[in-house]
Chains A and B, each alone.
Chain A
Amino acid sequence: MNQVFEILGFLLIVLTLIMQWEINVQRIIFLFAASSFIIALFLVLLGLSRPQEEYMLFILAGLTIAVRGITIPVVMNKALHRLYEKPWRVREDKPMLGVGGSILLSLVLIAIGYFIYQNSLYSILKVRSGSVPFALFLQASLLIITHKHAYIQMIGFLVMENAVVMLSGWVFGGLPFIVEAGVILDLLGLVVVSSLIIRVRERTILQEGISSEAELRG
Chain B
Amino acid sequence: MVYLYSFLEIVYVIVAAPLIAGIQLSLEERIESKQGPSIFQPYYDLIKLFRKESLVPQISSPVFRLGPYVIVMFYAFLAMILPIITAFPLPFAPSADFIGGGLFFGAAAAIKKFSAIDSRSNYAHLGTSRSASLAVFTEPIMVLIFIMLGVISNTNNPFVINHVLRTSPQWYYSLVHGFVLAAFFMILIIETGQLPVESHTNGELGMIDQAMPFEYTGMDLAMYKLGSYMKTFILLSVFLNVYFIPFGVPTAHSGFLAIVVYMGIHLLKLLGMIVVFALLNTTVSKFRLYKNFDFLAVAFALAFLASLAYYIIK
Pairwise interchain contact A13-B305, C-beta atoms closer than 8 A? yes
A60 at the interface (CB under 8 A from B): no
Pairwise interchain contact B294-A103, C-beta atoms closer than 8 A? yes
Q: Do most interface residues of chain B lie in helix, strand or loop, or is the interface mixed?
A: helix
Q: How far in angstroms is the closest Cβ of chain B from A51?
A: 26
- Residues of chain A from 1 to 60 with CB closer than 8 A to chain B in the complex: 3, 6-7, 10, 13-14, 17-18, 21
Pairwise interchain contact B313-A6, C-beta atoms closer than 8 A? yes
Question: Which chain B positions have C-beta within 8 A of A131?
Answer: 312
Given the known interface contacts A10-B305, A110-B305, the answer about A21 and B298 at a Cβ–Cβ threshold of 8 Å is yes
Question: Which chain B positions have C-beta within 8 A of A18?
Answer: 298
Question: Which chain A positions have C-beta within 8 A of B313?
Answer: 3, 6, 128-129
With beta carbons under 8 angstroms apart, the residue of A7, A10, A100 that contacts B297 is A100
Q: How far in angstroms is the closest Cβ of chain A from B176?
A: 10
B233 at the interface (CB under 8 A from A): no
Q: How far in angstroms is the closest Cβ of chain B from A130?
A: 9
A164 at the interface (CB under 8 A from B): no
Residues of B within 8 A of A (CB-CB), count? 19
Pairwise interchain contact B305-A100, C-beta atoms closer than 8 A? no
B224 at the interface (CB under 8 A from A): no
B265 at the interface (CB under 8 A from A): no
B243 at the interface (CB under 8 A from A): no
Pairwise interchain contact A100-B309, C-beta atoms closer than 8 A? no
CA distance A99 to B296 in the complex (A): 11
Q: How far in angstroms is the closest Cβ of chain A from B275?
A: 25
A170 at the interface (CB under 8 A from B): no
CA distance A17 to B294 in the complex (A): 11
A157 at the interface (CB under 8 A from B): no
Pairwise interchain contact B309-A103, C-beta atoms closer than 8 A? no
Q: Render A98-111 as a binary contact track against B, CB cut-off 8 A, 1 for contact.
A: 11100110110011
Interface residues on A, range: 20 to 34
Question: Which chain A positions have C-beta within 8 A of B31?
Answer: none
Question: Which chain A positions have C-beta within 8 A of B179?
Answer: 10
With beta carbons under 8 angstroms apart, the residue of A6, A99, A107, A129 that contacts B294 is A99
A132 at the interface (CB under 8 A from B): yes
With beta carbons under 8 angstroms apart, the residue of A6, A14, A17 that contacts B312 is A6
Chain B: which residue is nearest A13 at the CB level? B305
With beta carbons under 8 angstroms apart, the residue of A6, A103, A128 that contacts B175 is A6
Pairwise interchain contact A110-B308, C-beta atoms closer than 8 A? yes
CA distance A50 to B282 in the complex (A): 47
Q: How far in angstroms is the closest Cβ of chain A from B148?
A: 14
CA distance A7 to B298 in the complex (A): 18
- Residues of chain B from 272 to 314 with CB closer than 8 A to chain A in the complex: 293-294, 296-298, 300-302, 304-305, 308-309, 311-313
Question: Which chain B positions have C-beta within 8 A of A107?
Answer: 300-301, 304-305
Pairwise interchain contact A114-B311, C-beta atoms closer than 8 A? yes
Question: Which chain A positions have C-beta within 8 A of B175?
Answer: 3, 6-7, 10
Pairwise interchain contact A103-B312, C-beta atoms closer than 8 A? no
Question: Which chain A positions have C-beta within 8 A of B312?
Answer: 6, 114, 128-129, 131-132
CA distance A99 to B294 in the complex (A): 6
Question: Which chain A positions have C-beta within 8 A of B301?
Answer: 17, 103-104, 106-107
Pairwise interchain contact B293-A100, C-beta atoms closer than 8 A? yes
Pairwise interchain contact B308-A111, C-beta atoms closer than 8 A? yes
Q: How far in angstroms is the closest Cβ of chain A from B131?
A: 19
Q: How far in angstroms is the closest Cβ of chain A from B177?
A: 12
Chain A: which residue is nearest B174 at the CB level? A3
Question: Which chain B positions have C-beta within 8 A of A132?
Answer: 312
Pairwise interchain contact A103-B305, C-beta atoms closer than 8 A? no
- 9 residue pairs, one from A and one from B, having the closest CB atoms: A100-B297, A99-B294, A103-B297, A129-B312, A107-B304, A100-B293, A100-B294, A103-B301, A17-B301
Given contacts A6-B309, A111-B308, A128-B312, 8 further A-B contacts (CB under 8 A): A3-B174, A10-B179, A14-B302, A17-B298, A99-B297, A103-B300, A104-B297, A110-B304
Question: Could you jot down 28 A-B contacts, CB within 8 Å?
Answer: A3-B174, A3-B313, A6-B175, A6-B309, A10-B179, A10-B305, A13-B305, A14-B302, A14-B305, A17-B301, A18-B298, A21-B294, A21-B298, A98-B294, A99-B294, A100-B293, A100-B294, A100-B296, A103-B294, A103-B300, A104-B297, A104-B300, A106-B301, A110-B304, A114-B308, A129-B312, A129-B313, A132-B312
